[in-house]
Structures are given as structure tokens and as C-alpha cells.
Structure 1
């Protein structure tokens, strides 16, 4: 019999919460989403594909099934000429997430609604602020009506836009997770440091504050440390799984010195990042480090695979549904240690 479903706050009080994000890149890799526009039409066009991604991430250890409505807002739908599908897309993404969350064999997963950066926010334009507020208000209301457990508001590079998101979530009486995307300037575009922004958001009532996307572990972790020192409540960290560096702190301009062909885009972002991944063991080491400094809400963002999420979860001490498929080389014909393996194969391991 499955355990009674705990709230996000209850789970955070009892230990680390694992969050699998990155549906955008994963569904593009699987052939169900267009890179560039990055609009989650999959919720309507290929619902079974979306459910399988939800399922794969949950079985890899995610405590949360995040409804895939990132970029599923009125402005993006206007750009692609499908604004009439906005509400059906949002409701479908949430309903599919709820169906998968209920499949969890030990405790029903949490379902989060999702709002994000609109890319139209302008701190000098009052009209843009009202448009942003309207975008968030309708999406949060649909989430409330569909019965989400909380709202994940993410990837904000303006502090004020994040505050508007939080306010609209609070109007619906839902818990809020608010995470920031820090670009290469190392400061939010309206002049706030990420630690000051997170402290203010936490003081205003966000349950979890922190960072997601844009940066890999190496260039996000120093800022997570600063946030942890400034914030009394729960802190989240969800980096991308790419090898960013001080010279190239985000994945928007990561170079690939080994590429031998001309790329169709100016940089490796978004469809030529493949050689620039961290391996799962590096990501697991980051997860341990994040947990050790007191990050409570841990996951990965764009580019993450289920195997990576599983490695992160296991590194924080969590056995996942699919941990039975975690690597075990004991029986491998070249690299195993089983005594019944053939010596002539084992002797060849260094020459293979």
C-alpha cells in the first residue's frame, strides 16, 4: 500500500527533495519538440511521449512531476500563431503529470505547475509588467484548478519578474518555488545579485528559492553557496549538465574545439552541445557537494537525462524506482570480477 502523500514542505523538512527537469532538451532529442521555438506542443500532439518522459524522470528519482508548460505561455503561443491552444496545452500538461505521479509505487509524486521567464519583461515598461502579470495569473489559475501541489516559477533573469511571479502564485494560495537563471554578467539584469534576490523572495514568502538552468555545476555552485549563506529557508539548485567554466559561465556560448564541421548556429547552443556534457559521476559529485552545503531541492535542468537524475538522487542517499538498473560491471565479460568469467577475455581488457 502506498504511503500517504506528503506536501513539498513536509518532504523538505524530512530531507532532500530530488527534482528532474530538462524536458525541453530531452523531448527535442526524442524528436517531439522543435529546437528554437521550444514550445511544448507535445502536451497536445504527442501526449504519450510526454507521459513517458515524465515517467522516466520520476522512476529515476524525481519526487516531482513538473507539468511541462515551460514556454507554454501566451507570448510564446502568440509567436507561433497558436494562442487558441494555450489553455488546452496547459491543462493537458498538468493532467498528464497527475496521471504519471499517481503511478508511483510507494508514494504519489508531487505535481508542480510551471511558469517561467516570458522574455518580454522590461523594467522600464509598465505595460510589459502588466502583460507579464496577466501571463502568470492565468497559468497559475489553471494550475490551481487542475489541483497542482505547488508552482515552480523558474529561469528568471530579472528580479522584479520573479517577484511578480511569486505574487501571482500567492494570490492562488499555492506554495512557490522560485529559481533564477544567471547569465554571463554574473548579476541579474535589473541589478540584483542572485543572493539578494533570493533573500528578498524568501522574505516575501517563497517556500524554496535558488537557481536553475544556464549554468553547469562549476559556475552555479559558488552562487548557491552565497544564496545558502543569505537565506534562512529552503534553497534549490538545478544546474545544466554541461561543462561550463569561468571563461564560459553559461551554455549559450560554450565552444567545442573538437568540432570539424560548420555549425548551423553561431554557437553550440542549443543542438551541438553533445560533446560538452558532464558524465553522471561528475554530476553525482556535485549533488553531494550541494547537499553538504545545505541545498535542499536538488536536480538538473536542460540537457539532463534520466540516468543523470538517477545518479544525482543516489548520490544524495536515495534509492530510486529504477536503481535496480544502475551500473554494475561485475558480470561484464571484459571488466567484471565474477570468478566464472573467462580469463582470456579478462586478460584482454587493457588491449580492447
Structure 2
């Protein structure tokens, strides 16, 4: 039998490839703006190849691409009738790819995430969110995932509701928060306080994902690591965020000669602001040394970037055989240029 997530964490760092949203938009299989993952139904081979590319780049987890595949989001774009079919298809495709791993079958994770509906002062919205999470986790149960990932929550209470619904179905949970420019969650909790509470409630892994690049995420990851006793996750976006612009929402590009549609690089003109793989490796070493256990990269990452992270923390990917070799033959050719 394949090892569980907890068993793998006990044995060393675990890698989780995600950020499919931007990658599939870049590949031409997803619409920026609506950001609805219909690719599971419309181009299943494209989604399978994306899963496969990240798994071969070192991911121990094939994360079902159901980010934004909740009832509120699909109703907003007039596609609520596809909800259950989309969720089940994304999980089934993930299971097919996970079984292809040549050495140990990859874990399959269900995925639920932040909603636009949650209002921490409105009990009716809380119940609506709970119902959406419950049905998505129910499909995860019926389709047989290994654990459930709850991500990008910028309210502690929404993350807590997600955790409760995951636990009701008997799953281990990875819960990661999305931290906006303010440096605290929208309901006033610090991320370290929220993660401590989520850990006490039984989350197997707590931490941060998305919004912030390595430079502006890691200081908060350090606080979480110092506060929590269990496993900590960190999955930044691969962009050069700064103290002045701590998230990718507000980054600017002084070298751009035209005006992007939203007058900011986010979400479709961020390419010049990406970290290179060696900057990501530098971050991965810092995060590993700080005690991070669960590694990944979020929106915008390429598989080669994830492979660099995996190798930096001591993992060999299926496709490590294609990692750069800039010695030997390369130097011989370069010397003749």
C-alpha cells in the first residue's frame, strides 16, 4: 500500500505541485477573468498532462483541480449544472495520473478553497459556505481521495469551517491561508494565531499559499513555524514581491511599454516579474532550514521550478534526469562560440 501523507511527512519533506490555474491559462485551456476550471470536462487530456508534468517534476501529490469549482462560483458564471460532473472528473483524472508514478503511486488530494460568499458577520453566508464545502468533500469521499487540501483562505473562520467539513468525512487536512497586503487575515487574526488554532482543531498541515512571493511570505512562515508544533506548509507564488508590493495583485512593471487591461500586471502580464529557478531554490533552502515540511509553488509556477524546489530539499524527481547540466559538453560548446 502507498504511504499516507502523514507517513511521508514523517519520512521527510513532501512536495505538492499546484498553481494549475495560471499554468492552464498560459497553455490556452482556461479563461482568465472567470478562472473556472472547465478544462476537466472540455480538455481532459490537457489537464492530465498538466497533472503529469508536475508529478514528474517532483510532486508527491496530484491535487485535483477543483479550485473555484464551488456552487457559488459556477452559479455566478451560469454553469452550476456542471458542478458535480466537473468535480468528479477532476478527481478521476488525478487518480489516473497518480497511478502512473513509476516508483510509488502519488497521493491524490481533493481541493476546496476560499469563496467570495463568506462574510464573517453574516451567519447565513457561513451556512451557505459550509454547505458548499460539505458537498465538495462528499464527492471527494465517494471518489476515494487520500486527503483534502483546503487553501487560500483569507478568513480564519472560513478555514475553520473547511477543516470541520473535511474532518466530518474522516480525511486528513492540509489547510493553508492566503495573506493579503494588510499582513493579517480579514477577520483580524494573525496567520500564526490562525494556524495555531487550526492545528489545535486537528489539521495535519497548516501554513500559507498563494498571493505572496518567497520574499514576502517566508517571514510569516517563520512566525507560524515558531508558533506551531506540527507540520508547516509554504507554497508561494513565483514572483518578486516586495515590502512595498507584498502580493502579486499590486506588482508593477516599469519596463512595460503598454498598459495592461487592468492597469496592473496581475493577472495576465506578470511574466517579467517572475523569480528564476535559482531564486526559488534559495527560498526553498531557507524554508527547509526554518523547519517547513510541506513545499510547493502556487499560481504561475512551471514544472521546472517545482523540480528545482524538490531537488533543493533533497528529493529526486522522476524528471531529475533532465535537470540542467552546465558542465562538460555545455562548456565545450560554449568555448567555441
The whole-number CA distance in structure 2 between the counterparts of 1:53 and 1:263 is 27
State whether structure 2 residue 69 is matched by structure 1 residue 80.
Answer: no
Q: Which residue of 1 aligns with 2:294?
A: 297
Q: 1:30 aligns with which of 27, 31, 35?
A: 27
Match of 2:331 in 1: 337
Distance 1:86 1:176 in 2: 22
- Partner residue of 1:132? 129
Counterpart Cα distance in 2 of 1:233 and 1:18: 17
SS of structure 2 residue aligned to 1:298: strand
Question: What SS is found at the alignment partner of 1:330?
Answer: coil
Query: Distance in 2 between the 1:153 and 1:295 partners?
Result: 18
2:175 is matched with 178
The equivalent residue for 1:205 is: 202
Partner residue of 1:308 out of 288, 305, 308: 305
TM superposition shift of 1:330: 2.9
TM-aligned CA deviation for residue 289 of structure 1? 0.9
Q: What root-mean-square deviation, in Å, do the aligned CA atoms of Structure 1 and Structure 2 show? A: 0.9
Distance 2:4 2:271 in 1: 36
Q: Is residue 4 of structure 2 the alignment partner of residue 7 of structure 1?
A: yes
Is 1:156 aligned to 2:153, yes or no? Answer: yes
1:150 shift after superposition: 0.4
Helix, strand or coil for the counterpart of 1:242? coil
What CA distance in whole angstroms lies between the structure 2 residues aligned with 1:299 and 1:130? 31
- Given the alignment, which residue of 87, 112, 120 partners 1:90? 87
Pairs within 5 Å for 1:1-352: 4-330=1-327, 336-338=330-332, 341=333, 346=335, 348=337
Structure with max Cα Rg: 1
- The answer for unaligned runs of 5 or more in structure 2 is none
Please report how far the alpha carbon of residue 122 of structure 1 lies from its aligned counterpart in structure 2 after TM superposition: 0.4
**CA–CA distance in structure 1, aligned partners of residues 243 and 268 of structure 2:** 22
Instruction: Calculate the TM-score normalised by the size of structure 1.
Output: 0.94
Match of 2:189, SS? Answer: coil
1:13 shift after superposition: 0.5
Q: Distance in 2 between matches of 1:72 and 1:199?
A: 28
Shift of 1:25: 0.3
- Note the C-alpha offset of 1:263: 1.3
CA–CA distance in 2 between the matches of 1:183 and 1:239? Answer: 13
CA distance in 1, matches of 2:197, 2:248: 27
The structure 1 segments of at least 4 consecutive aligned residues displaced by more than 4 Å after TM superposition are none
